[in-house]
Chain A
Amino acid sequence: MLIKTDSSGFNHPVPSEITAQGIYQERRKLIKLMATGTAGAALAGWAGRDAMAQAVQKPGKLDTLAGAKSAAAGAVTMEKVTDYKDATTYNNYYEFGTDKADPAKNASTLPVKPWSIAVEGLVKNPRSFTLEELLKLSPQEERIYRLRCVEGWSMVIPWVGYSLSELIKKVEPLGSAKYVEFVTLADPKTMPFVGSRVLEWPYVEALRLDEAMHPLALLTFGMYGEVLPNQNGAPVRMVVPWKYGFKSGKSIVKIRFTDKEPRTAWNKAAAQEYGFYSNVNPLVDHPRWSQATERRIGEDGLFAKKRKTLMYNGYEAQVGQLYAGMDLKKNF
């Protein structure tokens, strides 16, 4: 039989299935675009559409602090943003208590106004900045970062702020400056747990200067499109997304440039457990527990397995070169 039919396996396309010539030629054009590298720009718009899909909901609790979309590499994760309620009622801020429900209960007394940060040490222009000056120092950006706590839980939080490097450039560190120290508020009158034996007060954190200059190191003034709630470190804090949460000091009052590695709060309390770097690293366990996995708050339900922790909290592409050649087991 020479006549082929459906039953003998020959399928003649119906007209609606035939690609129109115009579209077929578009496809050629797209391939040409890719070949010439312009597709990157075209795809950026498409990726942007995805980012728009999870526009951050403003909780409507505090003053608005809008931030433009950040252009820094790695600054906006596509992961589901943690509920504002969870992010503001479950966190550590030991000046207000060691339980993670304490800060939300006790931090209303934090004296956020007036506020200023003194910048001192090895810089050409040591000076004090009022909060108002800091807010205007550089355009505010929205950054959606993963946050990994050393205790083994994580969140995704939309912060508002700008790269700390903007402030550092203004004060011009001297050639001898190697480290940046962040001193946070310790006011026993308004912070009920300042004076407790857990840590030495004030709570001090620090970064190497090149870490502090990294565009992802964020001087932070807001979250979820509004100013920071007291319990999350109002009115100004650091957010260093590739390090465990405690490296990001809250309610900062002093930034000091030094030539020696500063002793940081948790390092002073337990040096064998909390190193200076404290980069998120699933391969280096805390002496008392594993760091290989984490529970994503609000997402990994009661019955879900914990998720794997990522090297540098998923920011390896951006920050890995800062630690090239270093022994991460020794420099934990």
Chain B
Amino acid sequence: MVAWIAGRQKMLLHRAAKPLVFLLCLLPFVWLFYQAFSDQLGANPAEALIRATGDWTLRFVCIVLAVTPLRVIGKTPALARFRRMLGLFVYFYVVVHLLSYSWFDMGFDVAEIVKDIIKRPFILVGFSAFVLLTPLAATSFNAAIKAMGPKRWQLLHKLVYLIAGLGILHFFWMRAGKNNFNEVFVYAAVVAALLGWRVWSHWSKQRKLEHIRKAVGAH
């Protein structure tokens, strides 16, 4: 077990690990780009692109939220190296998603976009998630952490929990028209499990501390 964990640690710390993960994260985008230009996105390529980039945004939200639980449960602190890059990929895919919508669906017509957002509140929810995500992406470098101070920086980045919720709500509302929630429930379950683990882990830590405090007090 120890050897296995140590081996994994070594793998994650390998020089090629980061570039490799970067390329893997880029793969869905490259694939969609290729499909779009070789006319393989089906009858309604605009709709296919908007939906696929939305799906990938949600998937990356799940991936980035999984980093901490996996790091703790799997005892592989080296996983933390990838968190920033994965977080930035969430932002990358949400930007591509938003651009696909504004360009292919709305032709960059700002007046039309504003009207559409009023008409379709689920877009407003998605857009708010994007807006909230922007300061997180903008403070994704060491100097920002230093300038803000780690406490405040961490507090700001806790917004990701709210953003994940908004993302799921956006998807849920979009699917409400067809009453088709199967996929929504899968994402919701994954996010709920990942957030639930955090609550549980925090709570059990508190209990342990209390035990220790009591034990110390008894002496």
Interface on A for B, CB 8 Å cutoff? 85-86, 89-90, 98-101, 153, 196-198, 269, 285, 288-290, 295, 297-298, 301-303, 305-306
For the complex, is B75 an interface residue (Cβ under 8 Å from A)? no
| C-alpha spacing A306/B104, complex, angstroms | 9
For the complex, is B178 an interface residue (Cβ under 8 Å from A)? yes
Residues on the A chain within 8 Å of B44, using CB: 90, 100, 153, 295, 297
Interface flags for B78-116 (1: CB within 8 Å of A; 0: not) read 000000000000000000000000011101010000011
Q: Is the CB of B45 within 8 A of A288?
A: no
Closest A residue to B45 by beta carbon equals: A302
Given the interface pairs A289-B120, A306-B107, the reply to whether A86 lies near B177 with Cβ below 8 Å is no
Residues on the A chain within 8 Å of B42, using CB: 86, 89-90, 101
For the complex, is B38 an interface residue (Cβ under 8 Å from A)? no
| C-alpha spacing A198/B182, complex, angstroms | 12
Contact of A288 among B46, B47, B107, B120 (CB under 8 A): B120
Residues on the B chain within 8 Å of A306, using CB: 105, 107
Given the interface pairs A302-B36, A305-B107, the reply to whether A297 lies near B178 with Cβ below 8 Å is no
B113 to nearest A CB, angstroms?
A: 11
For the complex, is B151 an interface residue (Cβ under 8 Å from A)? no
Residues on the B chain within 8 Å of A269, using CB: 179
Q: Is the CB of B46 within 8 A of A302?
A: yes
Interface flags for B162-183 (1: CB within 8 Å of A; 0: not) read 0000000000000001111000
Q: Is the CB of A289 within 8 A of B36?
A: no
Residues on the B chain within 8 Å of A196, using CB: 179
Q: Is the CB of B180 within 8 A of A295?
A: no
Interface flags for B116-135 (1: CB within 8 Å of A; 0: not) read 10011000000000000000
B38 to nearest A CB, angstroms?
A: 12
Known A89-B42, A89-B43, A198-B180; 11 more pairs at CB < 8 Å: A86-B42, A86-B43, A100-B43, A153-B44, A153-B47, A288-B119, A289-B119, A295-B47, A298-B43, A302-B45, A306-B107
Residues on the A chain within 8 Å of B105, using CB: 306
Residues on the B chain within 8 Å of A98, using CB: 178-180
Q: Is the CB of A198 within 8 A of B179?
A: yes
| C-alpha spacing A209/B45, complex, angstroms | 39
Q: Is the CB of A288 within 8 A of B177?
A: yes
Closest 7 CB pairs of A and B: A90-B43, A86-B43, A198-B179, A305-B107, A98-B178, A98-B180, A297-B43
Q: Is the CB of A290 within 8 A of B104?
A: no
Q: How large is the interface on B (under 10, 10 to 19, 20 to 34, 35 or more residues)?
A: 20 to 34
Residues on the B chain within 8 Å of A298, using CB: 43
Closest B residue to A94 by beta carbon equals: B178
Q: Is the CB of A295 within 8 A of B177?
A: no
Residues on the A chain within 8 Å of B115, using CB: 290
B residues 16-52 in Cβ contact with A at 8 Å: 36, 42-47, 49
Closest A residue to B179 by beta carbon equals: A198
Given the interface pairs A98-B178, A197-B179, A198-B178, the reply to whether A290 lies near B43 with Cβ below 8 Å is no
| C-alpha spacing A303/B179, complex, angstroms | 30
| C-alpha spacing A302/B49, complex, angstroms | 10
| C-alpha spacing A290/B116, complex, angstroms | 7
Residues on the A chain within 8 Å of B179, using CB: 98, 196-198, 269
Closest B residue to A297 by beta carbon equals: B43
Q: Kindly name the residue among B36, B46, B49, B120 whose own CB sees the greatest number of chain A CB atoms within 10 A.
A: B46
B97 to nearest A CB, angstroms?
A: 15
Closest A residue to B122 by beta carbon equals: A288
A sample of 17 cross-chain residue pairs with beta-carbon separation below 8 angstroms, ordered by A number, consists of A85-B43, A86-B43, A89-B43, A90-B42, A100-B43, A153-B47, A198-B179, A198-B180, A285-B119, A288-B119, A288-B177, A289-B119, A289-B120, A301-B45, A302-B45, A305-B109, A306-B107
A272 to nearest B CB, angstroms?
A: 13
Residues on the A chain within 8 Å of B47, using CB: 153, 295
Residues on the A chain within 8 Å of B119, using CB: 285, 288-290
| C-alpha spacing A198/B179, complex, angstroms | 5
Closest B residue to A99 by beta carbon equals: B180
A206 to nearest B CB, angstroms?
A: 22
Residues on the A chain within 8 Å of B109, using CB: 305
Residues on the B chain within 8 Å of A297, using CB: 43-44
| C-alpha spacing A302/B177, complex, angstroms | 24
B122 to nearest A CB, angstroms?
A: 8
Residues on the B chain within 8 Å of A99, using CB: 180
| C-alpha spacing A85/B44, complex, angstroms | 12
B32 to nearest A CB, angstroms?
A: 12
| C-alpha spacing A288/B120, complex, angstroms | 5
| C-alpha spacing A198/B180, complex, angstroms | 7
Interface flags for B57-82 (1: CB within 8 Å of A; 0: not) read 00000000000000000000000000
Residues on the A chain within 8 Å of B180, using CB: 98-99, 198
A223 to nearest B CB, angstroms?
A: 15
